Amino acid sequence: MGLWLIALLVALVATIQIRSQAEVERSLVGVDPTSLAFLIDDLHRANDSLEAERAELGRRKATLQSGQTGAADQVLRDEAERLRALEGLVPVQGPGVVLVIDASGLSALDLHDALNNFAAAGAEAMDVNGRRVVTGVPVVESSEGVSIDGVVVRSPWTISVIGDSSRLQQVADLMTQQLRADRRVRGASYKVEADVLITSVIGAKPFVYALPS
């Protein structure tokens, strides 16, 4: 009975694996070599990122377990500062790219695409014409043009991004080529900078529905 059950489980796992592989192969049909190379590169980077995160969590755990005076407080302070940066509550600086788009007729969807491309490339902080952009900040079409958190951002758009400059450069280069082929775009250029400074911040918003119990 035990051997029969094991054989059944092995067969089930093999079937699932074969089906999963077939699904992956079907999803890659028609994908051009360049896109496939980017997919593979993204997978490698994701694995590297997870490994780095695992190592960082291990370091924090070791610090907390060390029992040193103030160790836990320092870890909490570091984490709080990191979260404040991610939420756009403090100015940040670091390596990255600055993309300038001079165009008429571009919509909120076009800006969303650009920001999403940078986010997918690992952007840690973004700013458009002095307006900080983080998750949850609305980028919408208004009667006066594209607005970020209720403030209209007029062309040209200067998008400042902080992150892995080599990866952000690849994305900026591809977007620049596509933008220059768009008739609505008068000009599109970018530059890689060792120290991009983003001074814009988002004001902390009070809770409306989540009240202390």
Of 6 and 153, the structure prediction assigns the larger pLDDT to 153
Domain endpoint, select from 29, 52, 86: 86
What is the predicted pLDDT for the residue at 84?
80
Question: Does 107 have pLDDT greater than 50?
Answer: yes
Check residue 57 and give its pLDDT: 67
Structural domain containing residue 130: 92-198
Residue 117 pLDDT > 50: yes
For the chain, the average pLDDT equals 80
CA angle 47, 94, 201 (to 5 degrees): 105
Asked if residue 22 has pLDDT above 80, the reply is no
In a domain? residue 185: yes
Does 82 share its domain with 125? no
Query: 65: part of which helix (H) or strand (E)?
Result: helix 33-65
Do 145 and 184 have their domain in common?
Answer: yes
Q: Is 32 exposed, middle or buried (0-12, 13-18, 19+ CB in 10 A)?
A: exposed
Which pLDDT tens digit goes with each residue over 139-170?
A: 999 888 999 998 999 989 999 999 999 999 99
pLDDT of 56 over the 50 cut: yes
Whether 2 is covered by a domain: the verdict is no
In a domain, 175, yes or no: yes
- Is residue 180 domain-shared with residue 107, that is, in the same domain? yes
- pLDDT at position 212: 73
130 pLDDT above the threshold of 70 = yes
Residue 147 has a pLDDT of: 94
